[in-house]
């Protein structure tokens, strides 16, 4: 599986990692426990089996033109009752436009994951996986009631097969 993701500014990254650390310190599930070097706060825009030819270059051009995009985090929720604990991202016109443009680039991709499609997508930053809804109240208190702001500053692709990251930037000549 390949993803297309946006990377957080330093300030936003720090806010999310602080929430990860607080959840772990409280004995709750947390992505702070994932020590793989590719683990970092990010917003997934799309996921598919493989990119169509030329997509990496077109995505890099798109991100070069559209980023940075300002962002404000909203409330902490559990998606689907007992799945990931996430910090919702307030969708803005700029973010929604960028998301739709990414999907336009990936029209011919094989194996789209439909939950990222425009109209179905719930923009969020993950805090923990396989979270129990019963712990939500504590998680909200631990993660903090703040609404962090920042920007999405870069794009990347994660390859779940070999667990590697490819920056989505234009090649410098």
Model confidence at 173, in pLDDT bands (50, 70, 90)? very low
Q: What is the pLDDT of residue 86?
A: 92
Q: What residues make up the domain containing 14?
A: 2-167
In a domain, 125, yes or no: yes
Tell me the per-residue pLDDT of 40-69, one tens digit each, with 9 for 90 and over. Answer: 999 999 999 999 999 999 999 999 999 999
End-to-end CA distance of the chain: 30
Q: Which residue has the tokens 């020590």?
A: 35
Q: Give which of 92, 89, 125, 112 is closest to 5, Cα–Cα.
A: 125
Distance CA 15, CA 2 (A): 26
Low-confidence winner among 12-21, 91-100, 137-146, 155-164 (lowest mean pLDDT):
137-146
In a domain, 67, yes or no: yes
In a domain, 173, yes or no: no
CATH of the domain at 7: 3.90.1140.10
In a domain, 62, yes or no: yes
Sign of the C-alpha dihedral computed for residues 52, 56, 62 and 67 taken in this order = positive
Greatest CA separation for the chain: 53
* Cβ atoms within 10 Å of 100's Cβ, excluding its own: 14
In a domain, 172, yes or no: no
| Number of domains making up the chain | 1
In a domain, 106, yes or no: yes
Q: Write out the H or E segment, with its range, that includes residue 2.
A: strand 2-8
Count how many Cα atoms sit within 13 Å of the Cα of residue 68 in the half-sphere of its side chain.
12
In a domain, 111, yes or no: yes
Residue of higher predicted confidence among 149 and 142: 149
Model confidence at 4, in pLDDT bands (50, 70, 90)? very high
Distance CA 41, CA 6 (A): 9
Over range 6-12, report the average pLDDT.
96
Residue of higher predicted confidence among 104 and 137: 104
In a domain, 40, yes or no: yes
Residue 53 vs residues 69, 84, 116, 155: alpha-carbon distances, Å: 26, 32, 20, 18
Contact (CB, 8 A) for 139 and 126: no
């Amino acid at each position: 599986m390949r993803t297309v993701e946006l990377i957080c500014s330093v300030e936003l990254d720090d806010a999310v990692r602080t929430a990860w650390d607080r959840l772990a310190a409280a004995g709750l599930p947390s992505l702070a426990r994932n020590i793989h070097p590719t683990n970092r706060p990010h917003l997934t825009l799309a996921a598919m089996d493989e990119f169509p030819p030329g997509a990496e270059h077109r995505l890099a051009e798109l991100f070069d033109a559209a980023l940075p995009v300002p962002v404000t985090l909203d409330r902490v929720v559990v998606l689907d009752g007992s799945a990931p604990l996430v910090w919702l991202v307030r969708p803005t016109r700029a973010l929604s436009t960028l998301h739709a443009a990414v999907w336009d680039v990936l029209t011919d991709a094989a194996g789209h994951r439909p939950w990222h499609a425009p109209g179905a997508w719930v923009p969020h930053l993950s805090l923990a996986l396989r979270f129990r809804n019963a712990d939500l109240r504590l998680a909200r208190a631990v993660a903090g009631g703040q609404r962090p702001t920042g920007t999405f500053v870069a794009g990347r692709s994660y390859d779940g097969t070999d667990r590697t990251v490819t920056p989505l930037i234009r090649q410098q000549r």
